[in-house]
Amino acid sequence: MNEFDQSARLRLLFVCSRNQWRSPTGEQFYRTDPRVEVRSAGVSTSAKRRLNAADLAWADLVLVMERSHRSRIIEQFRDADSLPPIESLDIPDDYQFMDPELVELIRGAVEPLLAKRQGESVDDPAP
């Protein structure tokens, strides 16, 4: 059996403003990663795919590109029973879809979070 079977896959929701460049890049980059399931959305009313309550209910971890996105989610969904953890990647809106620098920024921010969430550590002794 694959180490990361379907039931163990972490559900990541990438969020930016308009779901045009940054969050779709995160979704595209991690789409084939066996550790995760991914979606993306935007917080703006003009987003290509607008964030909704079902997205938040689905997600194990929300990865926002800017801290202001976290604030907007908390404000917009303040009546929700609970929200998944929200982490800011602190990536400015300076890139196009799949820009190599954007991909590296996303990967560099997400990999430590995945390792932490999945308890991966090469330094842990085997039982």
Q: What is the pLDDT of residues 90-101, one digit of tens each?
A: 999 999 999 999
Mean pLDDT in the chain?
Answer: 90
Q: 24: Cβ–Cβ under 8 A, 6 or more apart, which residues?
A: 14, 40, 48, 97
Residue type for position 52: N
Kindly report whether the global pTM for this prediction surpasses the value 0.85: yes
Q: What is the pLDDT of residues 64-113, one digit of tens each?
A: 999 999 999 999 999 888 999 999 999 999 999 999 999 999 999 999 99
Written as six digits, the tokens of 126 are 């085997």
Domains, the chain, ranges and CATH?
6-117 (3.40.50.2300)
Q: What is the pLDDT of residues 43-53, one digit of tens each?
A: 999 999 999 99
**Predicted pLDDT at 120:** 55
Q: 71: Cβ–Cβ under 8 A, 6 or more apart, which residues?
A: none
Distance CA 101, CA 1 (A): 35
